[in-house]
């Protein structure tokens, strides 16, 4: 009996986590994939079936790149493929690309996101920056002409607006492959302004997965309902942009310059707020840290949109806050129970 009591009272030492949850990494990642489907369907409906090709190339490249790297690292390829994180990266990257990009753009970007941004730092859970956004920033530098000019014109047939991907007769009588139009956030004088209803539904030029606000909201609400993301992160991000748009004096005068609803529904704000600013790996660990992260990303987004030559600010704002995450964690970590601060001097 004495030996049994000693065994019962023995301290069992094991590796963390000590408290396990039913929600595993694969379960969360595949839920994210599911939540991204509405935005993809909206992109296909608006721009055409070529969007499927872009998403497919991006996802396949991400999965193959990850499989090769984990094989070279002598890590289980099967277990790594099951988590679905490479597919999430591939989808998110494709969603940030214009709908008519050449095939090599998603391939190069997806390879960069997995090989350089993710596995250079040790793989899932160790990367500093969001892989999809870092790859998008890389592509912006590598292929600026393609990414800045391929905003396609939509036909005038109500909701069934299809991109002019077939040859058209130009003003000079020559055949042209496509006609381009600026992003809804273009700052040039005379740039077209879209109605809020068009922005909400997604009948506007833009990137594949960021045009339909209602589709992104559906996916985001699903993740909040499943408790896979903190509701206050996207809420504070969007609210900060809302307030900043109202108070900041714009450098370029456009009809929508100080219209916060236009800034929220146009561009990649909702995609970034729900699916990238909530990334568990590249954002702070504490609630206070997440609040700082969300507000900081909102401030940077508004400042970039208002005072830089770049029409969008979501990508760089989140990447900058990713960089600041270790510092935020350092100053927001909770005090250990029973430990008192020692005043210096």
DSSP calls for 283-335 = S-SSHHHHHHHHHHHHHHHHHHHHHSS-S--HHHHHHHHHHHHHHHHHHHPPP
List residues bridging with 169 in a β-sheet.
Answer: 175
Residue 310 lies in a domain: yes
Residue 37 sits in the same domain as residue 92: yes
Q: Does the CA dihedral 289-295-299-300 come out positive or negative?
A: positive
Q: Which residues of the chain have pLDDT under 70?
A: 1-23, 149-182, 187-191, 336-345
Residue 154 lies in a domain: yes
Residue 86 sits in the same domain as residue 139: yes
Residue 52 sits in the same domain as residue 85: yes
Number of domains in the chain: 2
Residue 220 sits in the same domain as residue 288: no
What range defines the domain where residue 205 resides? 24-184+194-228
For residues 163 and 178, is the Cβ–Cβ distance under 8 A? Answer: yes
Q: β-strands 168-169, 175-176: how paired?
A: antiparallel
Residue 14 lies in a domain: no
Residue 207 sits in the same domain as residue 267: no
Each as own residue / partner, the long-range contacts of residues 309-315 (CB below 8 Å, 24 or more positions apart, any chain) are 311/183, 311/185, 311/186, 311/187, 311/267, 312/183, 312/185, 312/267, 312/268, 314/267, 314/268, 314/269, 314/271, 314/272, 314/276, 315/96, 315/133, 315/136, 315/137, 315/140, 315/268, 315/272
pTM: 0.84
Residue 163 lies in a domain: yes
Residue 64 sits in the same domain as residue 201: yes
DSSP designation for 189: T
pLDDT of residue 333: 84
Helices 85-95, 50-72: axis angle to 10 degrees equals: 140
For residues 300 and 321, is the Cβ–Cβ distance under 8 A? Answer: yes
Residue 172 sits in the same domain as residue 35: yes
Residue 7 lies in a domain: no
Residue 71 sits in the same domain as residue 113: yes
Residue 198 lies in a domain: yes
CA dihedral 170, 175, 178, 182 (to 10 degrees): -30
Residue 148 sits in the same domain as residue 255: no
Residue 319 sits in the same domain as residue 198: no
End-to-end, the C-alpha distance of the chain in Å comes to 55
Other CB atoms within 10 A of residue 7 CB: 8
* Residue 223, CA distances (Å) to 75, 200, 286 in order: 30, 20, 19
pLDDT of residue 64: 95
What's the half-sphere exposure (Cβ side, CA atoms, 13 Å) at 298? 28
CA distance 26 to 10: 34
pLDDT of residue 255: 82
Which tokens go with 343? Answer: 């005043």
Residue 12 lies in a domain: no
CA distance 230 to 139: 30
pLDDT of residue 145: 85
Residue 202 sits in the same domain as residue 253: no
Residue 221 sits in the same domain as residue 241: no
Residue 18 lies in a domain: no
């Amino acid at each position: 009996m004495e030996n049994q009591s000693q065994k019962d009272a023995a301290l069992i030492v094991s590796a963390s986590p000590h408290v396990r949850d039913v929600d595993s990494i694969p379960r969360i990642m595949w839920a994210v994939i599911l939540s991204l489907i509405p935005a993809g369907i909206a992109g296909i409906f608006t721009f055409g079936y070529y969007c499927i090709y872009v998403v497919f190339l991006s996802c396949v490249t991400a999965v193959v790149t990850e499989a090769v790297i984990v094989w070279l690292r002598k890590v289980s390829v099967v277990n790594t493929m099951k988590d679905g994180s490479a597919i999430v990266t591939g989808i998110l990257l494709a969603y940030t690309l214009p709908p008519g990009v050449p095939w090599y753009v998603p391939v190069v970007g997806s390879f960069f996101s997995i090989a350089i941004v993710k596995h250079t730092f040790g793989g899932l859970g160790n990367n500093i920056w969001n892989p999809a956004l870092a790859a998008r920033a890389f592509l912006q530098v590598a292929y600026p002409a393609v990414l800045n000019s391929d905003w396609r014109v939509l036909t005038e047939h109500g909701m069934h607006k299809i991109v002019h991907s077939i040859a058209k007769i130009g003003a000079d009588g020559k055949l042209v492959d496509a006609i381009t139009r600026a992003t809804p956030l273009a700052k040039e004088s005379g740039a077209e302004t879209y109605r809020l209803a068009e922005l909400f539904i997604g009948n506007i030029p833009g990137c594949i997965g960021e045009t339909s606000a209602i589709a992104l909201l559906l996916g985001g609400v699903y993740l909040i309902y499943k408790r896979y993301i903190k509701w206050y992160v996207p809420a504070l991000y969007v609210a900060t942009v809302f307030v900043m748009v109202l108070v900041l004096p714009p450098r370029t005068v456009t009809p929508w310059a100080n219209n916060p609803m236009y800034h929220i529904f146009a561009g990649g704000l909702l995609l970034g707020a729900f699916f990238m600013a909530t990334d568990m790996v590249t954002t702070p660990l504490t609630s206070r840290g997440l609040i700082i992260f969300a507000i900081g990303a909102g401030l940077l987004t508004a400042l970039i949109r208002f005072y830089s030559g770049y029409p969008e600010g979501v990508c760089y704002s989140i990447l900058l806050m990713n960089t600041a995450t270790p510092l935020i964690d350092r100053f927001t970590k909770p005090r250990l129970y029973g430990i008192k601060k020692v005043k210096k001097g």
